[in-house]
Amino acid sequence: MTDRRETNRNRKRRPNRKPTGPDRDWQDGERIAKYLARAGIASRREAEAMIERGEVRINGRKLTTPAFKVTGTEDIRVNGKPVKAHEQTRVWRYHKPSGLITTTSDPEGRRTIFEELPKALPRTITIGRLDLTTEGILLLTNDGELARAMELPKTGFVRHYRARAHGKITQAELDTLKGGITLDDGTRYTSIEAELERETGTNNWINVRLSEGKNREVRKALEHLGLKVNRLIRTQYGPFELSDLRPGAVEEISSEELRSTLSEFIPKQLLPKEAEPKRERRRPPAGARLHARKR
């Protein structure tokens, strides 16, 4: 008969110790790329690229994989600069002028919007992009996860543009865009609504509405019809309008407006939290206070 071994009998169990250091596998917390996105450093995809380039350090050690969780108590640095914990979600309307690019830096040395934004503005990222010569409303936020959610096609936010285009066009020709088009290079655009506003000499003002927002979509769609766009202004992104915001100006959207306009489209946890009502301190009646003093 073989002996039966019994394990863990009358033996004190030691508490499970979690490994420490930047290579630990956190059971709590959130993925580092998501944390950086929520902190407004970059989008989640861009944050993963930063990690691959060795630009992210946790507690002094270079992070080698995006499969890592943080709780926010660590010393997290990107290119040597400390990352602050995520603050209350904020969004701004910005009237982007023509001639600026929507990136943090440019190899060709062109001016970026981030070089022109007010210095008092905290670290922000853009919700979508506008190309070099396109002007109009551009939304900024300090929350990369919110930016990602608002950019997704399933959110269905319609972008409104006013385009000035050179050439001859009829409303019937513009209506052909409603069924979608395929460009010569194979690029496919879904339904685009275009309305001829007026003709001014050899130019036309056209109102365009679309929900995809692919790179240079308005320009390429109108060029497909034989027009040459020489000015393009985005007047609305989803529920947010350019209105009378002057070029280069920035205006914050209130938390209340964000919740009321986005709650139908965006997960609640990505929106600003409602301020907790202040508790009023109840004062005892005057007679009671006098009675207390006598005692």
Q: What is the DSSP track for 209-274?
A: EES---TTHHHHHHHHTT-EEEEEEEEEETTEE-TTPPTT-EEEEPHHHHHHHHTTTS-GGGSPPP
Structure tokens of 290? 């006098």
- SS3 of residue 188 by DSSP: strand
Which residues make Cβ contacts (< 8 Å) with residue 289, sequence separation at least 6? none
**Strand locations in the chain (E):** 30-31, 56-58, 61-62, 69-70, 76-78, 81-82, 91-96, 125-127, 134-141, 159-166, 181-182, 188-189, 193-200, 203-210, 228-237, 240-241, 250-253
Catalytic residue numbers, as ranges: 131
- SS3 of residue 243 by DSSP: coil
Sequence letter at residue 209:
R
CA distance 136 to 129: 11
- SS3 of residue 76 by DSSP: strand
CA distance 7 to 36: 45
